[in-house]
Amino acid sequence: MTAAELTGQARNHVQALAEPPCVLHVHAIAPFVSLRRAALADGFDLAAVSGFRDFARQLAIWNAKYGGTAPLYDAAGALLDAAALAAPQRIEAILHWSALPGASRHHWGTDVDLIDRSAVTPGYRVELSAAEYTGAGPFAPLAQWLEANAARFGFFRPFRGILSGVQPEPWHYSFAPVAEPARRRLSVGILRAALSEAPLLGREEVLARLEELHARYVASIDWP
């Protein structure tokens, strides 16, 4: 991938899939379709509520959380008041659950947030919360199925809360054959270039700590 593709500033590497509707890396589409076919055979209507996400969208997510117009949570999932936090604390809180613009794995089109559409009742709003994927949660059976089967199709969970600073995300799966080269290619320099002129809230603090943030939240993942 080019630097622009790695940072979500280009989309030459992705393609739209009609059913289930999502946008994925061109080399991830066939494996995802195979994963979905296997899930359907076992009674799950596998769908991605998020696939490719561009830089502008990730920037909007970041700025809304930093500025307090979108909910901000601590590592345990408790709601925080962004206005009561200094810049370093706001940044840490955001990065527990959301990536820096330019550093999201969703920019690559290799990563998907998965649900079972057959488990969604009319009017239900998917939250992508741990409670939905454990215990009596609507997507708990899917989470168990994915743990047992996703690797056969090249997918794995990069965020289990062990090595990465990102909190455990049982819904987030990544197509390793494309994602791993992308992760290694996304250097601090490429990320710095993408962020230097962006209207990023907290930009000065982010750039001052970029090597540390890259090491903890980008380079470190929970590899199988």
DSSP the chain: --HHHHTTS--TTEEEETTTTEEEETTTHHHHHHHHHHHHHTT--EEEEE----HHHHHHHHHHHHHTSS-EE-TTS-EE-GGGS-HHHHHHHHHTTSPPTTT-GGGGT-EEEEEEGGGPPTT------GGGGSTT-TTHHHHHHHHHHGGGGTEE-S-SSSSSSSPP-TTEEEEHHHHHHHHHH--HHHHHHHHTTS--TTHHHHHHTHHHHHIIIII-----
Q: How confident is the model at residue 113 (pLDDT cuts 50, 70, 90)?
A: very high
User: In terms of CATH architecture, what is 3-219?
Assistant: 2-Layer Sandwich (3.30)
pLDDT at 75: 81
pLDDT at 79: 85
Q: What is the pTM of this model?
A: 0.93
pLDDT tens figures, 84-108: 999 999 999 999 989 999 999 999 9
Q: How confident is the model at residue 74 (pLDDT cuts 50, 70, 90)?
A: confident
**Domain boundaries of the chain, sorted by first residue:** 3-219
pLDDT at 83: 87
> Can you tell me the mean pLDDT for 52-76?
93
